Amino acid sequence: MDDFIPMTQEGYQRLQEELKRLIRVERPNAVQAIAEARGHGDLSENAEYEAAKDHQSFVEGRIKELSAKISRAQVINPAEYKNSEKVVFGAKVTLFDVQADNEVTYQLVGEDEADLREGKISVTSPVGRALIGHLLDDEVHIEVPSGTRIYEIVDINYE
């Protein structure tokens, strides 16, 4: 379990903010909800009490998960690689999709930061893994569930 978890500074801050919210807001709310539900009588048939306990369990589990991820985080600044000619973690890569005849841009980020709507894909995803180490103008064949996609790398940017 000594593996580091790569993430950008933005992703690291997002995890820290969620952890703070869970500890400062959600945990006390869960404790209060349990206390209120206890006041309603018989706990063996109290659905409100069970729901409050389930929520508390979820909050505590998420706190534990986030604490572990934050402690193993390796924050990577993509700007440090601006002179790199290869695709590495944090790069914004513009690809020309040969079959669809269009361009797409993805930033390779950690698993917790991935959000396709924002153009952020996990470095461990099939596309992310396939792009790592490639150079500008390389043609990359990527196995996806629908078959093989062929992309040409038209730009690599480190912001």
**CATH classification of the domain holding 35:** 1.10.287.180
Inter-axis angle of helices 9-21 and 47-71, nearest 10: 150
Instruction: Indicate the residue among 49, 75, 101 that finishes a domain.
Output: 75
Note the pLDDT tens digit of each residue in 49-84.
888 999 999 999 999 999 999 999 999 988 887 777
**Closest alpha carbon to 5 in 98, 93, 67:** 67
Instruction: Indicate the residue among 48, 75, 102 that finishes a domain.
Output: 75
Both 46 and 9 in one domain: the answer is yes
- Percent of the chain past pLDDT 90, that is, above it, reads 65
What is the value of pTM for the model shown? 0.78
Number of domains in the chain: 2
* Structural domain for 127, as ranges: 78-157
Calpha distance 127→109 (Å, rounded): 12
Both 24 and 37 in one domain: the answer is yes
In the predicted model, residues of the chain with pLDDT beneath 70 are 1-2, 42-44
The pLDDT of residue 92: 93
The pLDDT of residue 1: 44
